[in-house]
Chains A and B, each alone.
Chain A
Amino acid sequence: MALLEMRGLTKIYDQGKIEVPALRGIDLTVEKGEFTTIFGPSGSGKTTLLNLIGCLDRPTAGTIIFDGQELGGLDKKDLAMIRRHHVGFVFQSYNLIPVLTAYENVEFAIRLVNKYDKKEIRERVMRILEAVGLAGLENRKPNELSGGQKQRVAIARALVKEPKLVLADEPSANLDSKTSEEVLQVMAKMNRELGTTFIFSTHDPLVMEYARRLIEIRDGQVAKDQRRE
Chain B
Amino acid sequence: MSELRTDPRNPWADEDGTVPPDSWGRGTGPKHTLPWGFALVVVLLVVGRFTLAPHLTAPALQTWATIFVAICVQALPFLVFGVALSAAITAFVPASFWTRALPRHPAAAVPVAGMAGAVLPGCECASVPVASGLMARGVPPAAALAFLLASPAINPIVLVATAVAFPGQPLMVVSRFGASLAVAVLVGWLWLRFGRSEWLPIPSRPHGDGPKWARFGEAMRHDLLHAGGFLIVGGLAAATLNVMVPREWLAALAEVPWLAVVVMALLAVLLSICSEADAFVAASMTAFSPTAKLAFLVVGPMVDLKLIALQAGTFGRAFALRFVPLTFVLAVLVSTLFGWLLL
User: Does A pair with B?
Assistant: no
B interface with A by C-beta (< 8 Å): none
A interface with B by C-beta (< 8 Å): none
